[in-house]
Amino acid sequence: MRNLAHKPILLISFIFLLLCTKSFSQDLKTSVEQDVKFQTLLKEKQKINNNLSIIDNYKIQIFYGSGEESKKKLSEFKRDFKDVEGTIIYSNPTYKVFVGNYKSRLHAEKFLIEIKKKYPSALLIKPGK
């Protein structure tokens, strides 16, 4: 009696397994067609991103406030520190002046000490955070 009860379950399982192996759900062939202009645009974007690495590096914020005041502060900073790059970033509702681009916190802190002599409110930040 027990063998008879297991035979339909075995038969159903075997048929189900057979159907699963014969199903045609997906092909392994994939083709991607891409415009040549897209590759050119992607290369240009990568060049720009290599030059502007805000997320990974430490920066020093020397000022935040209105647009005109931030432009004045940046030009004043560039007169004092000619070798250091600086940029203005708009962060609603204020503008921030970031200077320097340091991969290590140690280098950024050394320069922060020097900058604090002229800009006492300067602070070290990692913009991506």
Q: Domain span at residue 117?
A: 48-125
Answer whether residue 24 is part of any domain: no
Q: Find the CATH number of the domain harbouring 73.
A: 3.30.70.1070
Q: Would you say residue 99 has pLDDT above 60? A: yes
Number of domains in the chain: 1
For the stretch 2-43, pLDDT in tens is 555 667 777 787 777 766 665 655 667 777 788 888 888 888
Answer whether residue 13 is part of any domain: no
| Amino acid occupying residue 99 | V
pTM of the model: 0.55
Interior/surface letters 41-53, b for 16+ CB within 10 angstroms, e for the rest: eeeeeeeeeeeee
For the stretch 67-98, pLDDT in tens is 899 999 999 999 988 888 899 988 888 899 99
The C-alpha atoms of residue 89 and residue 92 are separated, in whole angstroms, by: 10
